Amino acid sequence: MRLRWLLNALEEQTFEEPWELVVVHTYAADTARRVLTEHPLCARGRLLHFPVEPGTGSPASQRNIGWRAARAQLIAFTDDDCRPEPDWLDRLVHAARQNAGAVCQGATRPDPLESAILAAPHVRTMHVEPVGPYAQTCNILYPRELLERLKGFDERAVAGEDVGLSLRARGLGRSIVPAPEALVHHAIEAHSLPGIIRQNLKWRHLAYLVKRHPEFREELPLGLFWDRDHLRTCALLAGLIGGYRWRPLLGLVLPYVHHALGRRGPGKRARIVAAIEMPGQGIRQIAEVGGLAAGSARNRTLVL
């Protein structure tokens, strides 16, 4: 259970001032007792936890429960699949005090303890060098007064609620400042192709975010594509479909192929592996774009 890794990492924090941890979870009572209540952080009075009924919560609603239950004036967020470095809180709080009123974003990198998993064809992890456009809550700090002014996360957002919160903060004139030394390691998870497609289906809800915050289109390639991978995937589809009627359109396939062949690195062996994995990667990307297209139709705004 990855939450235990997170709790153990937080137990090792070097931050010497009083702090508290709030966990909002969907665990059964016996699991909560074993993992949370019996953890040393709970015995020290630093750990509070709040259960919600399975199927009733969401990332936005559970984070809102968490920060509202906290008593501190600085609220740091991370996820249960992350492992902060021992000086994480020290670094993040220092950055917040140097930039009063600002949001502070730390760095997130794939966990080096799990680096061997990166050899799998379909991997989920995160690499964030602050400041990025998505303001992920796996490693970020907000002043409490700002969260109160914003009324917290938008609970109508199924995905991208962290982006939406940061956009509203920027709308109030608040800056997001980097704290690159405040480092969190993100889990590396291998999935089957059907599994990673199911995992990524939630991204269809990002169309709601773009409709709610049209200014975010300034961060999107051509104002339309969620990232450059999706831009290349759409060009691939246009080339494959249109190339049957007009051969020059097949040239649109080349940017995707060139990028996909370099996905594993520059060596010959790496390119062979990437070529073998290319069909699966293509299906994965096409499924993501298709999900966003479905979300676009539902929200009546186009983002791919």
Q: Are 64 and 50 in contact (CB under 8 A)?
A: no
Query: In this predicted structure, what is the pLDDT of residue 29?
Result: 86
Q: What is the DSSP secondary structure assignment for residue 187, as one 8-state letter?
A: P
**pLDDT tens digits along 221-274:** 999 999 999 999 999 999 999 888 888 888 999 999 999 999 999 889 999 999
In the chain, which segments carry CATH 3.90.550.10?
Answer: 2-190
| pLDDT at residue 43 tops 90 | no
Give one word for 222, left, alpha or beta, with left for phi > 0 and alpha for psi -120 to 50: left
Query: In this predicted structure, what is the pLDDT of residue 246?
Result: 87
Residue where the block lists tokens 């298709």: 290
pLDDT confidence tier of residue 189, bands split at 50, 70 and 90: very high
Q: H or E stretch including 200?
A: helix 193-200
| pLDDT at residue 45 tops 90 | no
Q: Are 64 and 92 in contact (CB under 8 A)?
A: no
Which CATH architecture describes the domain 2-190?
Answer: Alpha-Beta Complex (3.90)
Mean pLDDT of 90-102: 95
DSSP state string for 90-152? HHHHHHHHHSTT-EEEEEEEE-GGGGGGGGSSSEE---B-SS-TT--TTSEEEEHHHHHHHTS
What percent of the chain has a predicted confidence (pLDDT) above 90? Answer: 80
Average pLDDT score over the chain: 93
Q: Are 14 and 86 in contact (CB under 8 A)?
A: yes
Query: In this predicted structure, what is the pLDDT of residue 203?
Result: 86
Query: In this predicted structure, what is the pLDDT of residue 226?
Result: 93
Query: In this predicted structure, what is the pLDDT of residue 2?
Result: 85
What whole-number distance in Å separates Cα of residue 93 and Cα of residue 183? 13
The amino acid that residue 14 corresponds to is T
What whole-number distance in Å separates Cα of residue 198 and Cα of residue 287? 9
Residue 136 C-alpha from the chain's centroid: 5
What whole-number distance in Å separates Cα of residue 9 and Cα of residue 152? 26
| pLDDT at residue 55 tops 90 | no
Mean pLDDT of 171-182: 95
**Using a CB cutoff of 8 Å and minimum separation of 24, what contacts does 244-247 make?**
none
Highest mean pLDDT among 34-38, 85-89, 262-266: 85-89
Residue 253 C-alpha from the chain's centroid: 29
Give one word for 183, left, alpha or beta, with left for phi > 0 and alpha for psi -120 to 50: beta
Nearest to 200 by CA among 289, 264, 269, 70: 289
CB atoms within 10 A of CB 56: 9
Q: Is the dihedral of CA 79, 80, 84, 88 positive or negative?
A: positive
pLDDT confidence tier of residue 202, bands split at 50, 70 and 90: confident
Q: H or E stretch including 190?
A: strand 189-190
Mean pLDDT of 178-182: 96
**pLDDT tens digits along 97-149:** 999 999 999 999 999 999 999 999 999 999 999 998 899 999 999 999 999 99
Of 15-24, 82-91, 203-212, 242-251, where does mean pLDDT reach its minimum? 242-251
What whole-number distance in Å separates Cα of residue 265 and Cα of residue 253? 20
pLDDT confidence tier of residue 86, bands split at 50, 70 and 90: very high
